Chain A
Amino acid sequence: MTAPAPALRRFGDNLRAAPRRLRDSLFRSGRPVSDRTRASFVFGNVFLHLHPARVHRWSLRPTFTLGLGVMTLSTFLVALVTGILLMVYYKPSTALAYDSIKDLHFVVPTGRFIRNIHRWAANLMVVGVLLHMARAFYTGAYRAPRELNWVVGMLLLAITLGLSFTGYLLPWDQLAYWAVTIGANIAQSPREVTDALGITAWLDAGGLQKELLLGSDTVGEEALIRFYLLHVMVLPLALCTLLAVHFWRVRKDGGLVRPADAEARLGPAPQGTWPVFTEAPQKTYSLAALVKGKTAAVGRGPEGTVPAMPHLLLAESAALMLSVLLCVLLSVLADAPLKELANPAVPENPAKAPWYFLGLQELVAHSAFMGGIGIPTVVLVGLGLIPFLDRESEGTGLWFGGPGGGRLVALSAVYGLLAVVGIEAFAIHYGWIREWWPKAPQLLITLVNPGTVLTAAYAAWSVWLVRRHDSTRAGALGLFTCFAVGFLVLTVIGVHFRGPNWDFYWWPSQWPGH
């Protein structure tokens, strides 16, 4: 027996070594057992490299972030995966769309379940992004140096709503058709002002907006294909791009917001925390760790921080799985709605927009322009300006941090609740200008309606807070709380208390014709 040729021996050795080499190429810096190898594990992985090497214990407390950001991202990922699965069977055409959803529901294996998950993930994503925004606001996370990320977050909110709204039309049932018709009419609402000024013939901004959205003057084939394109391509791509910016900025802005005295507030790491620090501080900082800001870890030692691997990854995985569990659990419990085939000749009464627009629809019922364009614009501009107006530092990184604190927020919530319930109850019970004075000019109603009165009441409260506490943050806290409560109450009114012809009913069972 002759010895094998050297080339064949080398081949055999390489074959035996292949699994080890595969592992080495996956974990290039060796197994993550020390601080250093953990850090390079994170840096060396394309999916993880946006993470910091070490993360502050403040950011890891469940009660601080409530995991809302990661959960919102998780629901997006769930919706992304289930959405791709749905695209296998969905046909974006008015003649086929409804039947393809019925087929998904009845014969595609687990199709109904996947559609339910998609629907619930989308709704949870809207809830998540709103709550995440509230968290960022109440902990002062928008303050310098995180102004830009706050604005990026607002864009992400807008894209999330757009994704959800465009997806609403795709089943092509009555619910979809009339909700989108309402949505398109909200887009058309500037016409109320141009009509009142008598310039619609020259400048029809509302009509243009609606036509851009629908590709026609009614919801039809053109609108469906537009919404489909936006839903499956344009908006997800935009969302992913902005998400990357959002996460990257979190790193560049020095991690999550925390108070200057976070270490003192936390105290020493509890006994048994593993690993806090497993190597002498001989590490060389990679470029990504050189971050701007007062809280940069450079030169301050790793006190109060723990390695991102495994602490942060574990927390994120937990939030991810919690979101997935929520999605699948809700999907088993409640089916996504599917009403009759869309029929332009039979309007739904009441026709309701998706739930997150029902607060707006309630305002639109009073004045199309103010509810659809005016007040939302004021709110969005106000939200966008907050980081540039509030240049204070008191309470940064603390829930309800700032002059007045939790007490001010609670008071504002009560005030906001009383104001919105009072004004709505008044309008529902006594009517508004048009009922008392049928010939009132439209411009007057556009300017003075329950929506604008409510906005003015909230603004007055906020101004009073600014003066009383001598602080912009106090006013902002009050105003944000008021609008959050107002949004909630108006949404509940729109969802539950409005029946046919947008009349008020205590229960849907009291609707006429049932």
Chain B
Amino acid sequence: MRFYKHLLLWSSLGTLLVLGWAAVAENFLAEWRRVQRAARSRLPPAEAEGFGVELRQVVLPELAVADRCVSCHLGMAPGERGLPGDKALAPHPPVVHDPAAFGCTTCHGGQGRATTAADAHGQVEHWPEPMLPRRYFYAACGTCHTHLAVPSAALLARGRDAFERHDCLSCHRLDGRGGTLRPGGQGGLEGPDLSRAGARGWRADWHAHHLRERDEAPAGPWRSAFAGVPEEERAALDVYLASRVGAPGLTEAKALFHSLGCRGCHAVGGVGGADGPDLTRVGQRDPGQRAWGGVRGERTLASWFQEHFRAPARVTPGSLMPELGLSEPQIDQLTLYLLSLRRSSLSNSFHPRDRVRAEKLGEREFATDGATLYGTFCAACHGQGGEGMRYPGMAPFPAIGNPDFLAIASDDFIAETVRSGRPGRRMPAWGEAEGGLRPAEIATLVRYLRSLGPAYQPDPRPARWARGDAARGERLYASACAGCHGARGQGGEGPMLANPVLLRSASDRYLAETIRAGRRGTAMLGFERPTPARRALAPSEIEDVVTFLRSFEPKDREKRP
């Protein structure tokens, strides 16, 4: 009896104590309550009176958003004036999208429903979408926007250089710079702010307009600051202006992605190679699901990407991605771009125009001029200038800008190679059904490739004229070619010759000329001259070899792909 009395007494007291503690912790010690009490004490007395310590939130059912961030970031709550400069009361910087209409997490990520800093910022276990780091903030735009027709980094740089060179910044403001020279009004800005020219549009006759204004002005800034822009620089400026959509840094990052040939292996939005993982939503991946074995530093998606760019195989064992030798600023830019690949599934009414045009109307996210297309799809393997590439542990990639190649490769041959690839080798098929390139784009690519080297010399002969002795060709092949191209033409150090697409599209002249003259700057030396290791081949012998090569073709026409 005594035992039970004591047990009852002490467990009841203990329960009361715990419940009391829970009530106190809930009602007085909650983090956001402390923040709000402290903020209220800093407000002017008149405002403090109406300032209640209460849960504040942005609720947008159509976006599935219930963001309680504003319970601590009080100045950003809808309808709140805030106290500029205050830690908790600072208002949101002016942005295109009103936080009250889009919520906080739509752009920033993190856990909007949470009410403690660690949980809300999402750097806790079991929350797949932590906040975007401040330095990669423009990656947030990728949640909805796709940013159409981004040119390659070189084109963008050309436009930016022209913009600086012609001193546009003296009147115009762009991405937070410029517009300070002419204090025409109180703001010190005379020309329009061009930071979002790509989204808002600009007058097509801007150059003529500027000239007219200059000629009509008696004196002053118009006369002294504008001197006309040559035609091709105007085009570069237009390209640059089109890329100014209010997301500086992101456009540059995307341009870099489309200059390094990343899409040669990785698809984004259904366009690109299949050798690497699809990157369409890579910025949304759960850091908790990554392998962290080879990653130094903090466990964020950003540092995972950075480490992966530095040494892919260390982070992902068995990765085929070569070490690209990127500089740290490049790694930073590419990380920003990958983080921007989010594409959340929002309701259609929230899709911006650029996303609708990209996803529904098939417009390209990259510019479709030859240089950008080459940078986007080809540069990683064939080199920035078509000089070919050699990555450790891989067969060398052909130098398609080689003048010896361009002189004998017909447009049809190049187009067919791009379209159908090299089955069995690293070169994928880029036709619309496989890699996603349209016929017009392939034609643009061929034209661009053409511009890298000498003109094609047409051949009056038919495509197949070699009538040599295949048996002798076989013997010659075994002694002279098999070492690099493989005993059965399967390829090795040299390209695969028993390739159905190559044999289907290459003319006999292409094969014979390559054997005769070789490719300068590669291991393929011409056979018209002897080397210390072997003798030269006579034209008839070359014909024999070509005839033999044709025997690699699938015999049955039905079997041809």
Contacts and interface: CB of A to CB of B under 8 A. Distances in A.
Interface in A242-264: none
B319 interface: no
A496 interface: no
A198 interface: no
Given A106-B119, A513-B293, A325 B5 contact: no
B22 interface: yes
Contacts, number: 84
B223 interface: no
A315 B3 CA distance: 9
Q: Which of A107, A317, A513 has the most chain B CB atoms closer than 10 A to its own CB?
A: A107
A325 B288 contact: no
A311 interface: yes
* Residues of B in contact with A, size category: 35 or more
Q: What is the predominant secondary structure among interface residues of chain A facing chain B?
A: helix
A386 interface: no
A339 B68 CA distance: 20
Q: Residue among A106, A315, A318, A328 with the most chain B CB within 10 A?
A: A106
A107 B14 CA distance: 26
A314 B18 CA distance: 22
Contacts of A174: 126
Contacts of B68: 106-107
A512 B18 contact: no
A16 interface: no
Nearest to B128: A340
A346 interface: yes
B127 A512 contact: no
B92 interface: no
Given A102-B114, A325-B14, A340-B126, A514 B292 contact: yes
A107 B71 CA distance: 11
Contacts of B27: 109
A273 B19 contact: no
A109 B15 contact: no
A319 B5 CA distance: 11
B22 A346 contact: no
A18 interface: no
Interface string A312-323: 001101110110
Interface string A80-106: 000000000000000000010011001
A235 to B, nearest CB: 27
B278 to A, nearest CB: 14
A228 interface: no
B1 A314 contact: yes
Contact of A109 (B26, B113, B126): B26
A62 interface: yes
A347 to B, nearest CB: 10
A332 interface: yes
Contact of B15 (A317, A325, A338, A339): A325
Contacts of B8: 314, 317-318, 321
B18 A311 contact: no
B368 interface: no
B350 interface: no
Contacts of B12: 321, 325
Contacts of B116: 106
Contact of A102 (B23, B55, B113, B291): B113
Given A102-B113, A110-B23, A340-B288, A329 B7 contact: no
Interface residues of A, number: 34
Interface string A265-296: 00000000110000000000000000000000
A346 B293 contact: no
A339 B126 CA distance: 5
B21 interface: yes
B457 interface: no
Interface in B74-129: 111, 113-116, 119, 126-128
A113 interface: yes
B115 A329 contact: no
A102 B115 CA distance: 10
A315 B23 CA distance: 29
B4 interface: yes
A332 B18 contact: yes
A417 interface: no
B66 interface: yes
B187 to A, nearest CB: 43
Interface in A172-187: 173-174
Contacts of B22: 110, 113, 328, 332
Given A110-B26, A113-B26, A318 B18 contact: no
Contacts of A321: 7-8, 11-12, 15
B459 interface: no
Contacts of A421: none
A113 B26 CA distance: 9
9 contacts: A102-B114, A109-B26, A109-B27, A113-B26, A273-B1, A318-B7, A325-B12, A340-B127, A514-B292
Given A318-B8, A318-B11, A341-B128, 4 more contacts: A110-B23, A110-B26, A113-B26, A340-B126
CB-based closest 4 A-B pairs: A321-B11, A318-B7, A318-B8, A325-B11
Interface of A: 62, 99, 102-103, 106-107, 109-110, 113, 173-174, 273-274, 311, 314-315, 317-319, 321-322, 324-325, 328-329, 332, 338-341, 346, 512-514
